[in-house]
Chain A
Amino acid sequence: MAELNWLSIQEAHAQLTSRQISSVELTQACLDRIEAIEDQVQSFLTLTPDIALAQAEKADRMLAAGEGGPLTGVPVQIKDVMCTEGVLTTCASRMLENFVPVYNATVVEKLMGQGAVMLGKGNMDEFAMGSSCENSAFHPTRNPWDLDRVPGGSSGGAAASVASGETIYALGSDTGGSVRQPAALCGVVGLKPTYGLVSRYGLIAFASSLDQIGPVGRTVADCALVLNAIAGHDPRDATSVAQEPKDYSASLGQDIKGLRLGVPEEYFVDGMDPGTRKAVEEALATLEGLGASVRPVSLPTTRYALACYYIIAPSECSANLARYDGVKYGYSYQDTDDLWEAMEKTREYGFGPEVTRRVMLGTYALSSGYYDAYYLKAQQARTLIRQDFDRVFQEVDALVTPTSPVTAFKIGEKIGDPVQMYLIDVCTLPVNIAGLPGLSVPCGFSEGLPVGMQLIGPHFSEETLLRTAHAYEAATQWSDARPPL
């Protein structure tokens, strides 16, 4: 019964339905792996072994009765930004250190309905703000490929737990790259769906026009299976889109002959790691070998995306995080009778430095006298960035870029310099600005560290992205690589 924790969802499902293994055995294998390495990786904020084993027993009963789906009995880590009924949900913030939701996020409800097994809640940058997982108020997570390095962020726990074999898959959330960038830095697959494809109900809000939940898995096919389970219209999220349900697994295995791929030169930025450039260029050659055509394209508004994002996201964050006032839930400073003092002290203690920085930035951008110069201007830039994508998608079916211009960096290396940290997301955040789907798939190594290739497509083109990534994955062996842990 060796190494069950390294199975893909597909493999686990096959062995579970043929009763070769039980969900309890599979779950125990993950719990054993966690027991062995979690003190090094620290990808979890809360472990729920008792819940996991109870859910595994329930899943085994479902499987014995011939019920359930591809995720039944398969262990998952859930990023601590998604509400889980009765289970601590901290958002990696002191503000929510003791917060126990009274309802499940829609995605959690959907997974539980299928008989999923929750191992625990994943570490992250506080309120999903960050690119390294170092902004967690509780502890950093370490990259399984090099424990002195960051796993990326904000869904660092998700990527690190999948990459280290602690879980079979994970759910993350992506506002500017928070699923794709850590997936790239940890050598796993991460998908950020089209805005509106997956319900945000029960996802603790950071920037509501950008946030989207997505899967992290060890294979492309696994991400397709998870997307099947979590996609779909939800009346409780007014921004979720009513669409015919699709089977995202159906087109996997089809070839990519004749697929038109564009390479935007602007994404190969100055200061990019040479090994990353080389890996992505080799991946492009592989895709050409598989029958796709590759042509250079230009997205000239790319140079405005960072500024656009760092005005819009903090503005929305400053509004969303106004709810943390110490009254309804969360940390509450009580050593005063003064209303305003209590609120200021609550937020001073409850928020870490990056959250404070962004709330202040957004407050400034929205404040009287600055609104037009910053917020309105950024929203207009957003229109132009979107139109740029619309234009290139007349010529190509998808874009290929590096996911991150650099590989995993050292813990502590960039945390003191917010601008340097923000630049890490330069290839991923335009995708959120335009509401597009993006996928990161492993495409090699640079000096021993994983490199991710990003595929970007038009709205609701997840099938194309998954099919392309799947064909690439099948032609290479990068997804089989495991960290030396």
Chain B
Amino acid sequence: MPLERSQVKHIASLARIGLTEDEVQLFGEQLSQILEQFEVLNELDTTGVTPTGHAGGLQSVMREDLAQDSLDSEDVLKNAPRREGEFFRVNAVLEE
């Protein structure tokens, strides 16, 4: 079933990506075609099959809880688009 324009806009807002009206149309068509390819999975009986998140086979990996050096804060801030002293500067999160 093709995606509605409203669905495409909803997905884009969840993903926090701005789209032009033309892009809503284009991505709607393309995503619908891709989703159609996924229908083949319905043929597959997966009743009781354990999902695989990871093919590596490792379980929870533990390490000693030791204090270690991390990156220098000056280094961490080097690529900051906006900074103020020791901080990343962001737009207001909470409105008055």
Contact = CB atoms under 8 A, between A and B. Distances in A.
A384 B47 CA distance: 11
Interface string A290-315: 00000000000101101110110000
A435 B91 contact: no
Contacts of A422: 34, 37
A334 B81 contact: yes
Interface residues of B, number: 50
B61 interface: yes
Contacts of B13: 344
Nearest to B47: A380
A209 B55 contact: yes
B11 A381 contact: no
A356 B82 contact: no
Contacts of B44: 301, 304, 377, 380-381, 384
A381 B46 contact: yes
A435 B39 CA distance: 24
B91 A337 contact: yes
Interface in B1-31: 8, 11-19, 23, 27, 30-31
A339 interface: yes
Interface string B36-67: 01111101101001111111111001010000
B91 A338 contact: yes
A127 to B, nearest CB: 14
Nearest to B61: A238
Interface in A330-387: 330-332, 334, 336-340, 342-345, 347-348, 351, 356-357, 359-361, 363-364, 367, 374, 376-384, 386
Contacts of A310: 34, 37-38
Which secondary structure dominates chain A's binding surface?
helix
Nearest to B91: A339
Contact of A235 (B16, B23, B30, B63): B63
A340 B16 contact: yes
Contact of A241 (B19, B31, B58, B79): B58
B79 A329 contact: yes
Contacts of A248: none
A364 B31 contact: yes
A304 B40 contact: yes
A374 B30 CA distance: 17
A356 B23 CA distance: 10
A145 interface: no
Interface of B: 8, 11-19, 23, 27, 30-31, 33-35, 37-41, 43-44, 46, 49-58, 61, 63, 71, 75-76, 78-82, 88, 90-93
Interface of A: 98-100, 102-103, 195-196, 209, 235, 238-239, 241, 301, 303-304, 306-308, 310-311, 318, 322, 325-332, 334, 336-340, 342-345, 347-348, 351, 356-357, 359-361, 363-364, 367, 374, 376-384, 386, 418-419, 422, 432-436, 459
22 contacts: A100-B78, A195-B55, A195-B56, A209-B54, A235-B63, A241-B58, A310-B34, A311-B38, A330-B79, A337-B91, A343-B16, A344-B13, A344-B18, A357-B30, A357-B31, A363-B14, A367-B11, A381-B41, A381-B44, A418-B33, A418-B34, A435-B55
